[in-house]
Every structure is written in structure tokens, then in C-alpha cells.
Structure 1
Amino acid sequence: MGKAVSKEAWTADKLPESPVRVSNAAGRGRAIILCDHASNHIPAKFGTLGLSPIDLTRHIAWDPGALGVSNMLAMLLDAPLVESRISRLIVDCNRPPDAPDLIPSISELTVVPANQQLDEAAIKERIALSHRPYHAAIEDLIGEREREDFPAPVLVAIHSYTPVYRGVSRPWHIGIIHDADTSIAAPLIEGLERIEGLIVGDNEPYSPADRVYYTLERHASARRLPAVMIEIRNDLITTPHEEQVWAERLALLLKPIIKKPLRGVRETPDRES
């Protein structure tokens, strides 16, 4: 498993060998872990997009802590992990290609100078750089599992969010985001709510209505595959130890959930997950 990008520093180093990485592709677990906003890497040709190095360590550039949790959760569930390795300030892999905020000109309250008034060619370049290969990797992985007659995969997208957004405090420690299919979300919320002191959001601080569910809509909902999006407040996953605590907590709850038959999807019940 790869290491998370540093939370403390940002450097304009060379483009990673690939804009998307698939780890543990041969994992035998049923889950597939997705990390849309794993990295704050800006390819050198884009400079700093007109932002300060400090801005590029903030949540506007990525989801701090999400990759660390994803790595550990993938290990605990013996699951493949697909991660985007380019900052969402270049292009947001969790938005449809025609979304107005696909390439944010303003992120939260921060203006992104280099993202102002991009022409069609520049937009297509960014989609080809990161968005298209990320989603192609997910599609290829699901296709491989279908050809190998795996049980229908369960897609688990890991994100993090800020404790305060536009001046409004968010009390939840974790949010479980889902659409009409609650086969994963409902028992996961129930299990989390049994943990003393934990404040759990049900479609909070976001919901699919906020247009933050694109990756799961595209790869899970369209295939009638069970899925869940997990948002962890990023001040709770600032160290490897905290990331491990959350990964272990989630793995403990998810293991029995994803072993059960799930309605409306292809099942292969005699295969160990």
C-alpha cells in the first residue's frame, strides 16, 4: 500500500508514474475501496495554480487522512483500493464531466486563479489527465471481478470533511452518505451509533442531492451494486494512529455486513468474501 501524501508540506514534484493507482488488485475480499480525493499533487506544468503552498495542504486540494484510512481499510478487508493521484483542484474525479465545479474556479471561499475561464481544450486536457483514467481503472477492476465470477462487489468510497464549512460548525464525527439503497448504509449507521460518544450523520454533512455522489452513481448505482460513501471529519484523522483507529472501527462493522446476501444484486453465496 502506498503512503499518504504529507499533510504538512506541499512540493511541486514530478507527475506520479500514473494519475491513478490500484493497490491490492488481487485482493479476495468483496469490497472495493475508492479514494476520489487521495492526493494534493499538482503536476509541475500547472505550477501552484496561483495558490500558496499552504493552500495546497488544505482541504480544498484533497481529503486529508482519507488515503491513510483507505489503505488500512483495504488491508483489513483484503480489498483492492483505487486512488486518484492528482489534486481535485486540477479536476474533481467525483463530479460528472459536465459539472460546473468539475474544475473549481472557487473552492470553498478560495479563488483558484489558474482555473478561471478555462477554454474547452484546457478542460478536455484535464479530464484526460486524471478524470478519465481514474474511472477507467474502476471500470476495469469491476469488469475483471465479474469475469472471475466474484460475488457482486461492494463499493466503499472514503472521504474526509472539514470541522467548519463557510463558518458553520459540523458536529458529526462521521457521515454515511447513500442513495435509496441502504443495504450497506443502514446497518453501518446502526453499528456506529452504538459507539458511545460518536455523532453519526445520515446523509450529513452531504447527501447525493449535493452532487457529491457521482463516482458511486456511475459505478455502483448504474450496475445495481451495493455501495456506501463514508465521510470522516478530518480533524479526527490527522495521524497514522488515528487513521488506523477509524479503519479498524469501520472494518469491524463492514465485515459482517458485506458477507450477507444483499437484495437486488448478483450473488455467489458459496464464495468466501
Structure 2
Amino acid sequence: MNRVRLRWELGIVLAVTLGQSALYSVLTLVRRLTISVPLGQQQTALNPSRDDAALWDALYQILSVFFDLALVALVVYLLWEPGSNALRRIGLDFTRFGGDAGRGILLILVIGVPGLGLYAVGRTLGATVAVQASPLDAAWWAVPLLVLSALRAGLLEEVIMLGYLFDRLRRLGWGWWPIIIASATLRAAYHAYQGFGPIIGNFVMGIVFGWCYKRWGRVMPLVIAHTLIDVIAFVGYPLAAALWPGIFGPVPAPSGTPTPTPSP
């Protein structure tokens, strides 16, 4: 593919996906730092309700997931070449599911547990926004929707940040470590609205995930790890908020606090 066309394609894909989220997220952090309310007393929601009526809220949530997965389908389509299966090339298939699942679970221990500790430290130091992961309600579809949202985040981030971005930057002549660092930086940027703790945590996560993708050549273990980490965070949030309200519980929303568009 022509390099000029490849650069345009890469810019357009990032502009309509995670690059857009990164810009809004960084601007939201800047906005948060300019108001009189300390960062540690501000809050944000990852899965906010979209309508007061439960049925309509569920419908809007499903449509949101569908359109985000359409972006995943778009980048897979762009990766597709005659005589080459794009899903198999980036390792997003079930041919080695047992090994992929094992690696994904190992990554939860390597990334998920330290990430939780980093969030708690950030909240204690007042450098991280209170993140309300999931306002669960009594509807039977609440948990399935949260699991679907976690799967959406795992596919959207890992397929674009690893499968697609690595392929395109390699074709542009980038080395492996510049690609890994660039991907990790972008991952940190679109989580910036949560504060400085998540910026550091997601940068480290990006480095580890990027190194693992280079070594394994498969995106499936990273999708599994990311999805399971988010499932634990989304579904386990109410319990954590009840046990440690000062760290995981919501804080009163002060006036003037910006409300960002949540990033994946």
C-alpha cells in the first residue's frame, strides 16, 4: 500500500476511534485541573445511564456497543488482504483458545491487581478521580450488559491499539519499541480523564500488552485479559464501593466539575 495513503488511513481511523477519545480525555483532564475543586473530589462514570427508563437505557447501551464493534469490524476490514485472513494474521481466532485464555488470566494477575493498587494509591493521594464503574440496578439484564460493555472495550482497544496500529506502523517503517511506546502513550492519553494514576497504570499496561503482542503475535490473549479485568471492575464495583467507600465509592459531584464523554 502507498505510504501516503497508509498515513491518511491511519489518521482517519484514529480520528474516529481512540485518537478522538484521547483528545477529549486529555482536554477533560486539563479542564478538571483548572477548576477550584481538587481532582480527588471529582468523579466520573464508565457506564452511565442513558435514559431514566430501564428498557430504553438498555436499548441505547446495546446500540452503543454495536456501533463501537462496527469500528472494530472496520479496522479488520482494512487489514484484510486477498489470500490472507486478517483475523488469523493478528491472532483474533479460536485456534489456540486454551493457551490464549491461560495467558490472559496470567496477565490479569500481572496487570489487574497492581492496577487496582495504583488506583487506590491515586485516590488516597488525591491524584485520581473517583471512578464509578457500574451503577448496577435491579434489572436482570444489568450484568449481561456490563459483560457486553467489557467485551466491547477489550475488542475495541486491543484490536485497534495492537492488531491494527502495530501492522500499519510496521509498514511505515517503525521499529518495535517505538510502536510499543507510541501505543502505550495513546492508551494512557484516552484514560487521562480519570486522573494521573490511570495515566501511569494504562501506560504500563500498554507497554506490557505491546511486548506480549510482539512476542506472541496474537491479540486474543490481550482481548481476554482486558475483557476479564473490566468484567471484574464493572460487576465487582458495587461490592468494592460498599467495602471501601472512601476509595471506590462515589463522591458528591461538586459544582463546576466537567462531565467527560467516557472513554473505553
Higher strand proportion (structure 1 or 2): 1
TM-score by length of 2: 0.30
